[in-house]
């Protein structure tokens, strides 16, 4: 195991430190990748693992978890909270989705390899040393630099129905403005899948995007952390609930992808209702005049839940996610 923790994983109290991964390179021959970690623990009780910046250009998790790491007091909890606000530190430091060191997308690299690349080693440590200690795992995402989402918490459809019910209950406790029963289009190597395969309760989020955070989306993250820890029995108090819209993603017709490059014009906003066959966006040529735009029409009725940013698209880029409201 080449990664070591500078703080104890099992001690009571508050410990701030790093996961230290030796990384010999041109600018630092005996250097290390240092991933910040805080552990707050108080006696017996469940363990929550809370992670941000799995993708390095998603910011609500890092902000809300940084704040939580300096405000949560051990005497306020029973059990333990393990906080990794910048789980994929190399990507976060570069402001990129993927690690600039090995080009890897952390959320496609689980369970990792102890003798692999930097990203694979980090995944291996998290999967073998941290996830097994956890009863509940919350992994913050938002759209990053190329997507924007309605703010939602999500849980997955799982084979083990009692585990699925526990994940759905935790997702409802998070209480984002939207709650999604989520279908993944590409779940191989995801942190989500690794945590679920270990039988844990798992909640993920998509809280916004477009390469930044907003006051509203950070507040959703902050409330979600508290609610989830109360739900898990780690923090005292009442889960604070506001109305949430339940969304379902029944099949792949939820997604649209671009079949031509160009300048994208969205015709509706996130949160708007769309009918089957209705154009969501149209794509103008980016290199000539005199040609009409191509329409991107929804394959189902529902609510526009995610869209592409910024203004240009390539062939194959994601255009839209339309989810169905569940009454
Ligand atoms: Zn993400």
CATH number at residue 274: 2.40.50.100
Same structural domain for residues 238 and 317?
no
How far does the centroid of ligand 1 lie from the alpha carbon of residue 107, in Å?
A: 8
End-of-domain residue from the set 233, 248, 263: 248
Mean pLDDT of 314-319: 98
CATH number at residue 196: 3.40.630.10
End-of-domain residue from the set 225, 248, 271: 248
- Chain-centroid distance of CA 300 in Å reads 25
How far does the centroid of ligand 1 lie from the alpha carbon of residue 94, in Å?
A: 15
Same structural domain for residues 232 and 267?
no
How far does the centroid of ligand 1 lie from the alpha carbon of residue 18, in Å?
A: 22
| Per-residue pLDDT tens over the stretch 161-200 | 999 999 999 999 999 999 999 877 778 999 999 999 999 9
How far does the centroid of ligand 1 lie from the alpha carbon of residue 58, in Å?
A: 6
How far does the centroid of ligand 1 lie from the alpha carbon of residue 236, in Å?
A: 30
How far does the centroid of ligand 1 lie from the alpha carbon of residue 79, in Å?
A: 28
How far does the centroid of ligand 1 lie from the alpha carbon of residue 221, in Å?
A: 14
Same structural domain for residues 184 and 238?
yes
How far does the centroid of ligand 1 lie from the alpha carbon of residue 199, in Å?
A: 22
pLDDT attached to residue 81: 98
pLDDT attached to residue 327: 79
pLDDT attached to residue 11: 97
How far does the centroid of ligand 1 lie from the alpha carbon of residue 289, in Å?
A: 36
Q: Are strands 262-266 and 273-274 parallel, antiparallel or unpaired?
A: unpaired
How far does the centroid of ligand 1 lie from the alpha carbon of residue 254, in Å?
A: 19
**pLDDT band at residue 1, thresholds of 50, 70 and 90?**
low
Full residue range of the structural domain in which residue 286 is found: 252-325
| Per-residue pLDDT tens over the stretch 80-100 | 999 999 999 999 999 999 999
How far does the centroid of ligand 1 lie from the alpha carbon of residue 12, in Å?
A: 31
How far does the centroid of ligand 1 lie from the alpha carbon of residue 167, in Å?
A: 19
How far does the centroid of ligand 1 lie from the alpha carbon of residue 287, in Å?
A: 31
Q: How far apart are CA 275 and CA 208, in angstroms?
A: 23
How far does the centroid of ligand 1 lie from the alpha carbon of residue 91, in Å?
A: 11
How far does the centroid of ligand 1 lie from the alpha carbon of residue 145, in Å?
A: 10
How far does the centroid of ligand 1 lie from the alpha carbon of residue 231, in Å?
A: 24
Structural domain count of the chain: 2
Same structural domain for residues 177 and 321?
no
pLDDT attached to residue 186: 78
**What crossing angle do the helices spanning 215-231 and 161-174 adopt, rounded to 10°?**
130
| Per-residue pLDDT tens over the stretch 210-265 | 999 999 999 999 999 999 999 999 999 999 999 999 999 988 999 999 999 999 99
Q: How far is CA 283 from CA 70, 146, 267, 270, in A?
A: 46, 16, 11, 18
Q: How far apart are CA 81 and CA 65, in angstroms?
A: 11
Same structural domain for residues 237 and 215?
yes
Same structural domain for residues 18 and 107?
yes
pLDDT attached to residue 48: 98
Same structural domain for residues 260 and 231?
no
Looking at the chain, the whole-number percentage of residues with pLDDT higher than 90 is 96
Same structural domain for residues 62 and 74?
yes
pLDDT attached to residue 182: 87
DSSP run (H or E) holding 256: strand 255-257
Same structural domain for residues 90 and 109?
yes
Place of tokens 């279908």: 183
Mean pLDDT, the chain, rounded, equals 97
Same structural domain for residues 160 and 109?
yes
Same structural domain for residues 182 and 320?
no
pLDDT attached to residue 284: 98
Same structural domain for residues 295 and 223?
no
End-of-domain residue from the set 248, 269, 286: 248
How far does the centroid of ligand 1 lie from the alpha carbon of residue 55, in Å?
A: 5
How far does the centroid of ligand 1 lie from the alpha carbon of residue 292, in Å?
A: 34
């Amino acid at each position: 195991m080449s990664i070591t923790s500078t703080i104890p994983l099992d001690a009571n109290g508050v410990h701030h430190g790093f996961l230290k991964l030796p990384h010999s390179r041109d600018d630092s021959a005996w250097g290390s990748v240092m991933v910040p970690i805080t552990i707050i623990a108080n006696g017996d009780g469940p363990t929550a693992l809370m992670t941000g910046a799995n993708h390095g250009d998603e910011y609500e998790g890092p902000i809300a978890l940084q704040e939580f790491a300096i405000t949560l007091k051990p005497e306020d909890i029973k059990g333990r909270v393990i906080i990794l606000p910048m789980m994929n530190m190399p990507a976060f430091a570069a402001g990129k989705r993927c690690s600039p060191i090995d080009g890897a997308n952390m959320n496609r690299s689980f369970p990792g390899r102890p003798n692999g690349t930097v990203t694979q080693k980090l995944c291996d440590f998290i999967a073998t040393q941290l996830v097994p200690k956890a009863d509940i795992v919350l992994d913050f995402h938002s759209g990053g630099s190329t997507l924007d989402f309605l703010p939602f918490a999500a849980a997955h459809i799982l084979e083990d129905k009692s585990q699925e019910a526990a994940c759905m209950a935790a997702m409802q406790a998070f209480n984002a403005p939207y709650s999604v029963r989520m279908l993944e289009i590409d779940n191989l190597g995801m942190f989500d899948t690794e945590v679920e395969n270990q039988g844990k309760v798992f909640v993920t989020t998509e809280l916004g995007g477009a390469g930044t955070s907003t006051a509203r989306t950070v507040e959703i993250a902050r409330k979600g952390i508290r609610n989830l820890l109360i739900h898990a029995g780690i923090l005292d108090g009442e889960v604070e609930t506001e109305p949430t819209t339940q969304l379902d993603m029944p099949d792949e017709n939820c997604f649209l992808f671009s079949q031509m490059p160009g300048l994208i014009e969205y015709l509706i906003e996130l949160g708007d209702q769309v009918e089957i066959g209705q154009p969501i966006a149209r794509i103008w040529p980016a290199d000539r005049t005199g040609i009409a735009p191509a329409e991107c029409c929804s394959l189902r009725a529902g609510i526009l839940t995610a869209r592409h940013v910024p203004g240009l698209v390539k062939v194959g880029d994601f255009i839209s996610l339309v989810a169905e409201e569940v009454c």
